[in-house]
Copies of this chain bind each other. A is one copy, B any other.
Amino acid sequence: MRMRSKRWTDQELANNPHVIKDAEEKKGHWAEYFGNDHPIYIEVGCGKGNFISKNAEKYPYINFIGIEKQHTIIGIAARKAGDLPNLALIETDAKDLNELFEVGEFQRIYLNFSDPWPKRRNYKRRLTYREFLVSYRALFGEKGEIFFKTDNRSLFEFSLEEFSADKWLLSHISLDLHHSPYAAENIMTEYEERFSSMGMPIYRLEARFGVEPDPMPSSAVLPAADEDTETPLAIQAAE
């Protein structure tokens, strides 16, 4: 989504302490910047910042860095950042991650409602295309994890294949996030709030490398999405 530049955007981006102007100089020094060695989670394409600022509020012992290439949009995200010490924002492109981080400097990537690039000939631009996955993997180092959600069915199908082709371990998959066991913990993006209120399903997955699969599938651990499909414990015992 593109927006016309708002009059206050330049001023907000210039003055807001969450917006990192010399981000390349922080490469290798993010722990120093945050003043602690907490894990760092980044959101590639943080949009207006609802997701990342709510996460930063909810999880004070995680540092969050939001990356967004659209000038006006990240201006809005900056306004929402309040006085959260564990939140930083960078106006840049996903392609530039190498210039912002040393290998192993962050532990998780969120990809929320990334551009689906629906035309076939553009598949290499999708942020879950295997060449992107390879580059994320290189930057993660020994292990890493990506939390991905989208409303776009084709992008989700494509992403499942790409993660699999690059040998990531898939788990915690939902084809209808808002009616799943993951809904309770889910923090929505602005786009997600609007889109899901129309009743359309949201798809999500977690992808990891460098770790062993859990011995139990997620669905055997999580509370059931629809308790109707479960027999109450009292009846189970009597069966």
Chain A residues proximal to chain B, CB less than 8 Å: 118-121, 123, 129-130, 153-154, 156-158, 160-162, 164-176, 203, 205, 213-214, 217-220, 224-225, 229-231, 236
B161 touches A219 (CB 8 A): yes
Residue from the list B120, B172, B214 in contact with A224, Cβ < 8 A:
B120
* 26 pairs from A and B in contact (CB 8 Å cutoff): A118-B229, A119-B229, A119-B230, A119-B231, A120-B219, A120-B230, A123-B219, A130-B217, A153-B175, A153-B176, A154-B225, A157-B173, A157-B174, A157-B175, A157-B219, A158-B217, A160-B170, A160-B205, A161-B171, A161-B172, A161-B217, A164-B168, A164-B170, A165-B171, A167-B167, A175-B175
A171 touches B175 (CB 8 A): no
SS of A interface (majority): mixed
B176 touches A160 (CB 8 A): no
A154 touches B213 (CB 8 A): no
B154 touches A173 (CB 8 A): no
Cβ-closest chain B residue relative to A231? B119
Most buried by B among A120, A172, A213: A120
Residue from the list B119, B213, B225, B231 in contact with A165, Cβ < 8 A:
B213
